[in-house]
Homo-oligomer: A and B are copies of this chain.
Amino acid sequence: MADVTTTSLNATHDASVRSWVDSANADDTDFPIQNLPYGILERDGRRGGAVAIGDQVLDIGAALDAGWFEGAARRAAEAASAPTLNAFMALPPADTHALRAALFDRLRADGTSGDPARADAAKVLVPAAGATLHLPCRIEGYTDFLTSIHHTERHGKLKGLKDPLPPAFKYLPVAYHGRTSSIRVSGPDVVRPHGQWKAADGSVQFGAIEAMDFELELGLFVGQGNAQASPIPIDQVADYLFGFCLLNDWSAKSIQWWEQVLGPFLGKNFHSSVSPWVVTAEALAPFRTAACARPEGDPAPLPHLASEADQRQGAFDIQLEAWLSSDTMRSSGDGPARISQTNAKTLYWTFGQMVAHHTSNGCNLLPGDLIGSGTVSGEARSSMACMTEMTSAGAEAITLPNGETRKWLMDGDEIVLRGKAEKAGFRTIGFGECRGRIAPAR
Q: Tell whether A442 is near chain B: CB-to-CB under 8 Å.
A: yes
Q: Is the CB of A270 within 8 A of B174?
A: no
Distance in angstroms between the alpha carbons of A270 and B175 in the assembled complex: 14
Q: Is the CB of A181 within 8 A of B141?
A: yes
Instruction: List chain B residues, Cβ under 8 A from A164.
Output: none
Distance in angstroms between the alpha carbons of A175 and B369 in the assembled complex: 22
Q: Of B143, B181, B262, which contacts A364 at CB under 8 A?
A: B181
State the number of copies, please: 2
Q: Which residue of B lies closest to A193 (CB)?
A: B361
Q: Tell whether A101 is near chain B: CB-to-CB under 8 Å.
A: no
Distance in angstroms between the alpha carbons of A176 and B266 in the assembled complex: 9
Q: Tell whether A271 is near chain B: CB-to-CB under 8 Å.
A: yes
Instruction: List chain B residues, Cβ under 8 A from A365.
Output: 181
Interface size for chain A: under 10, 10 to 19, 20 to 34, or 35 or more residues?
Answer: 35 or more
Q: Of B146, B182, B361, B442, which contacts A262 at CB under 8 A?
A: B146
Distance in angstroms between the alpha carbons of A363 and B142 in the assembled complex: 15
Q: Is the CB of A182 within 8 A of B364?
A: yes
Q: Is the CB of B302 within 8 A of A360?
A: no
Q: Which of A248-275 contact B (CB under 8 A)?
A: 252, 255, 258-259, 261-267, 269-271
Contact A229 to B270, CB < 8 A, known contacts A141-B179, A176-B177? yes
Q: Is the CB of A366 within 8 A of B261?
A: no
Q: Tell whether A319 is near chain B: CB-to-CB under 8 Å.
A: no
Q: Is the CB of B175 within 8 A of A265?
A: yes
Q: Is the CB of A177 within 8 A of B174?
A: no
Q: Tell whether A74 is near chain B: CB-to-CB under 8 Å.
A: no
Identify which of A79-87, A165-173, A406-414 touches chain B.
Answer: A165-173
Q: Which of A198-217 contact B (CB under 8 A)?
A: 198, 204-206
Q: Is the CB of B361 within 8 A of A266?
A: yes
Contact A180 to B141, CB < 8 A, known contacts A361-B193, A442-B229? yes
Q: Tell whether A401 is near chain B: CB-to-CB under 8 Å.
A: no
Q: Is the CB of B364 within 8 A of A204?
A: no
Distance in angstroms between the alpha carbons of A366 and B183 in the assembled complex: 13
Q: Is the CB of B181 within 8 A of A271?
A: no
Q: Is the CB of B302 within 8 A of A363?
A: no
Q: Which residue of B lies closest to A267 (CB)?
A: B361
What's the least CB distance linking A240 to chain B, in Å?
14
Contact mask A138-156 → B, CB, 8 Å, 1/0?
0011010010000000000
Contact mask A353-366 → B, CB, 8 Å, 1/0?
00001101111111
Distance in angstroms between the alpha carbons of A262 and B181 in the assembled complex: 20
Q: Tell whether A187 is near chain B: CB-to-CB under 8 Å.
A: no
Distance in angstroms between the alpha carbons of A271 and B181 in the assembled complex: 21
Q: Is the CB of B182 within 8 A of A269?
A: no
Q: Is the CB of A266 within 8 A of B360?
A: yes
A contacts, CB < 8 Å to B: 140-141, 143, 146, 166-169, 171-172, 174-182, 184, 191, 193-196, 198, 204-206, 225, 228-231, 252, 255, 258-259, 261-267, 269-271, 299, 302-304, 357-358, 360-366, 369, 442
Q: Provide a sorted-by-A list of 13 A–B residue pairs whose CB atoms are within 8 angstroms.
A: A141-B180, A167-B198, A172-B196, A172-B259, A174-B261, A181-B228, A181-B363, A193-B362, A194-B362, A229-B442, A266-B363, A267-B361, A270-B362
**16 extra A-B contacts, CB within 8 A, seeds A175-B262, A266-B358, A266-B361:** A140-B181, A141-B180, A141-B181, A143-B179, A168-B261, A174-B259, A175-B265, A176-B177, A177-B265, A181-B366, A193-B229, A194-B231, A206-B302, A228-B271, A269-B361, A269-B363
